[in-house]
Chain A
Amino acid sequence: MIKIDDIHFTYPNGIEALKGVSLDIQDGEFLAIMGQNGAGKTTLVKHINGLFKPSKGTVVVDDLETTKVSVATLARKVGFVFQNPDHQLFSETVEEEVSFALRNFGYDESTINERVTWALNLLDLTEYRKVSPFMLSGGERKRVALASVLAWNPKIVILDEPTIGQDNQQKERLRQFILQLNRQGKTVIIVTHDIEFVAECKPRVVLMTQGRILAQGEAEKILTNYDLVNQASVVLPQIAQLFTNLIGKGVPAEVIDVYDAAKILLGRLGEPA
Chain B
Amino acid sequence: MSMFDGFKFRSVSSAVHRMDPRAKFVYVCVLFAVAVMFSQLIPLLVLFIIQMPLVFAARVQKEWLRSMKGSAMFAVIIFGMNLLTLYFYGSYESLSAVIERSLALTVRFMVLIESFSVFFLTTSPDLLGLALEQSHVPYELCFAFTTAVRFVPVLADEAQTIMDAQKARGLELEGGNFVKKIRNYIPILIPLIVNAIRRSLELAETMESRAWGATKNRTNLYVLKIGRKDLYLVFFAFAILLVSVYVVTYIKIPNVTHLLNI
CB distance from B191 to the nearest CB of A (A): 5
Report how far A88 CA is from B168 CA in the complex, Å. 10
A134–B167 CB distance below 8 A: no
Report how far A86 CA is from B253 CA in the complex, Å. 60
A71–B168 CB distance below 8 A: yes
Closest to B195 in A: A86
State the main secondary structure of chain B at its contact with A: helix
A75–B198 CB distance below 8 A: no
Count of interface residues, chain B, beta-carbon cutoff 8 Å: 19
A87–B168 CB distance below 8 A: no
B residues near A72, Cβ cutoff 8 Å: 167, 170-172
B residues near A76, Cβ cutoff 8 Å: 170
Q: Identify which of B166, B171, B194 contacts A134 (C-beta below 8 A).
A: B194
CB distance from A161 to the nearest CB of B (A): 13
Closest to B164 in A: A51
B210 in contact (CB, < 8 A) = no
A3 in contact (CB, < 8 A) = no
Q: Identify which of B166, B172, B186, B198 contacts A88 (C-beta below 8 A).
A: B166
B96 in contact (CB, < 8 A) = no
A90–B187 CB distance below 8 A: yes
A residues near B187, Cβ cutoff 8 Å: 88, 90, 100
A residues near B170, Cβ cutoff 8 Å: 72, 75-76, 101, 104-105, 152
B167–A88 CB distance below 8 A: no
A192 in contact (CB, < 8 A) = no
Report how far A88 CA is from B172 CA in the complex, Å. 14
CB distance from A187 to the nearest CB of B (A): 16
Report how far A87 CA is from B164 CA in the complex, Å. 9
A residues near B195, Cβ cutoff 8 Å: 86-87
- Chain A positions 55 through 75: 1 when the CB is less than 8 Å from some CB of chain B, otherwise 0: 000000000000000111001
B161 in contact (CB, < 8 A) = yes
